[in-house]
Structure 1
Amino acid sequence: MKSFKSFLIFILCFITTLSLSGCKSNNSTSKGQPLTKTEVIIGTACTISLYDNKDPKILDEAFTRLKELEDILSINKLGTELDKVNEMAGKAPVEVSDDTFLVVSQGLKYSKLSDGALDITIGPLVKLWGIGTDAAKLPTEEEIAEKKSLINYKDLVLDENNKSIFLKKENMIIDLGAIAKGYAADEVASLLTKNNVKSAIIDLGGNIFAVGSKIDGSNWKIGVQDPEDARGSSIGYIEVTNKSIVTSGIYERFFESNGKKYHHILNPKTGYPYESEILGVSILTDKSIDGDSLSTTLFALGIDKGLEFINAQPGAEAIFVSKDHKLYLTEGLKNNFHLTSSKYEIIK
């Protein structure tokens, strides 16, 4: 089994003093250097780097918020709100916090928009395959058929008045893996802004939120990792200010069985990982929760349908990277993406 961080990395251009290694651990507050903290939360390495308001209390507050969200949204910890919703599947609605209700509502929205290409009730299949865990396995046809029968976002009922969530069938499972990190990034970005932070980078396992601009007022430069090369080798970069960048790709998490690789992006209709011409797709949005939802949706839809879908979403842009080294960009990125690799070709 092999595990990767997100296919997207951030490369904060060579004219800044922040390096990728520096993002892991850095308590320096010297001029030009960020104040950085990293902890493993929500199942991934979370790094926050402050460039202007270097108050350690702000970092502590941000990580406290991340831990709060993990304690209510995770299905990998016992006793979380989401865990309780899943336990009561087919039995009774469960009243939840505003955070949980909002994230599940957003997940249901994109499940509907994508006609089930993204389905947040995919939990039974995710648990069955176990990709990204020590329990990863190739399930039998019978096991897959059984779990597929439990997946249907139309059997998820939200009650706005009571802030409750109900799954109609026993053994259904909501999995927010395609959306929770995005919400967490938005919450941290909001917290930093309220604390007058105007220059920061949030990296939640590859979900990047570039808060404000660089300390000199120029744009952040966000690199797109070459998925077939060593980490740090980029295809090119985009320039952003106060934006979220999220990626889904087949090199994020996978395992091998009988010489075949199986990645973690599962098709709720077939029960197997999506077969696609895409190596990865990166989404640029104002809100990370939108980018998180859209990245999985677009990967599932493929390039042609994915481009059609993303072009209908206001304020969202995308870069598709195909297995034959072609790059497909939405209109809003064609003048912003800077190709630096001779191996790839932009398709107009």
Structure 2
Amino acid sequence: MLIIDNILIIIISLIFIILILIFITGNNKKSYIVREFYSLGTSNQLEAYGKKATKAIEESIIKVCEIDNKMSVFKNDSEISKINTNAGNKPQIVSYDTYYVIQKAIKYCRLSEGAFDITIGPIVALWGIGKEGQQIPSSNEVKEKLKIVNYKDIVLDKDDRSIFLKNKKQEIDVGGIAKGYAADEVKNVMIKNGIKSALINLGGNILTLGTKIDGTPWSVGIQDPFKTRGEFALIISVINKSVVTSGNYERYFEVEGKRFHHIINPSTGYPSESDIVGATIISDNSIDGDGLSTGVYIMGVQKAIKLIEEIEGVDAILITKSKEIYVTSGMEGKFTITCDGFVYKNRI
């Protein structure tokens, strides 16, 4: 009887140990999670690897949607819409997120000497590129709208965290930089949850966290501006970097063989006619890449290269109408051309 009791005790102990091991290993198991969702007016995809991958992605989606609710011009109750509604009337108190994004946006408006301007909304709406009713507006219509395009009319008050537009009918649109901020915030959420390997794709804006699962760098394709989306002109390898591209292939319409794309030059009110057709910014923070890519596109190769070389931790890859590829010093030898017809130029 004693022997049987001892055997039962041993069996129960073994079962208990096995259950503990299962519990421990189960909780330590790392997961690779991929999730797609729609927000910020675009399709997005998050990839994460780690014990808390599911939690990290769920929290990230919530964060992105919160940013969209604050900064979308298509939502009447967003903070940006309230700023625009009160233009020329009174300041609008906003959240830290919105204040920070507008503050950073103004920084890049200045650096680009107005090539990037977040008050260009009325001109963009006039063209309606990518929407029903897109058309070439009359020159008088463009001239009239240009009168209210000026980022210098944005007044920031850091004491009460308010934003004020000096003139009625002026509008702020942070669509050209909000995705970058959202990507940075997602990265912070991932890090908080112990994620060391993640790929953040917000409408084509790429931000990588760490390396791929196998320890190798992430390979990011740079769109061929002369072909449909998903065909690449070159490939770069990155770790802990943001890759943001502006190009004339994203939204456009054609009239008599001429392409009218969505990147409007704030000084003319018409689609940019610089020598650049694709501008990619590689940076540590995605908000910087987002804030620079549009302005760089409009500035043209010479001014763009000069500007980016002066900003620490930021690089650029520029593709021209003649299929020439120019890069800043930090990207030399760090890319591979994958499509025939492109020529690398290492001198301006």
Larger mean CA deviation between 176-185 and 258-267 belongs to 258-267
- 1:52 touches 1:200 (CA, 8 Å); kept in 2? no
Aligned to 1:328: 326
CA distance in 2, matches of 1:237, 1:61: 31
Distance 1:42 1:232, change over 3 A: closer
Q: Following TM superposition, by how much is the alpha carbon of 1:287 offset from its aligned partner in structure 2, in angstroms?
A: 0.4
SS in 2 for 1:292: helix
* 1:69 corresponds to which of 67, 70, 91: 67
Aligned to 1:141: 139
Gaps in structure 1 of 5+ consecutive residues: 1-30
Aligned to 1:10: none
* 2:169 corresponds to which of 159, 168, 171: 171
Aligned to 1:5: none
- 2:31 touches 2:51 (CA, 8 Å); kept in 1? no
Question: Whose Rg is larger?
Answer: 2
* 1:245 corresponds to which of 243, 246, 249: 243
Aligned to 1:288: 286
Larger helix fraction of residues: 2
1:235-274 aligned within 5 A:
235-274=233-272
Gaps in structure 2 of 5+ consecutive residues: 1-28
Aligned to 2:310: 312
Aligned to 1:42: 40
Q: Which has the higher contact order (CA 8 A, sep 6+)?
A: 1
* 1:233 corresponds to which of 222, 231, 234: 231
Query: Which segments of structure 1 move beyond 6 Å, counting only runs of 4 or more?
Result: none
Q: Deviations over 1:223-265 (max 9, x none)?
A: 1122223444322211111110000010011122344221011
CA distance in 2, matches of 1:211, 1:217: 12
Aligned to 2:277: 279
SS in 2 for 1:229: coil
TM-score (norm 1): 0.88
For these two proteins, the number of residue pairs brought into alignment is 318
The one-letter amino acid of 1:152's match is N
CA distance in 2, matches of 1:230, 1:275: 20
- 1:224 touches 1:236 (CA, 8 Å); kept in 2? yes
CA distance in 2, matches of 1:58, 1:97: 23
CA distance in 2, matches of 1:333, 1:295: 16
Q: Deviations over 1:143-195 (max 9, x none)?
A: 11111000111111000111000000000000112111100111111111111
* 1:151 corresponds to which of 149, 152, 172: 149
CA distance in 1, matches of 2:197, 2:44: 17
TM-score (norm 2): 0.88
Aligned-pair identity (%) = 45
CA distance in 2, matches of 1:160, 1:246: 29
CA distance in 1, matches of 2:291, 2:53: 32
Larger mean CA deviation between 211-220 and 63-72 belongs to 211-220
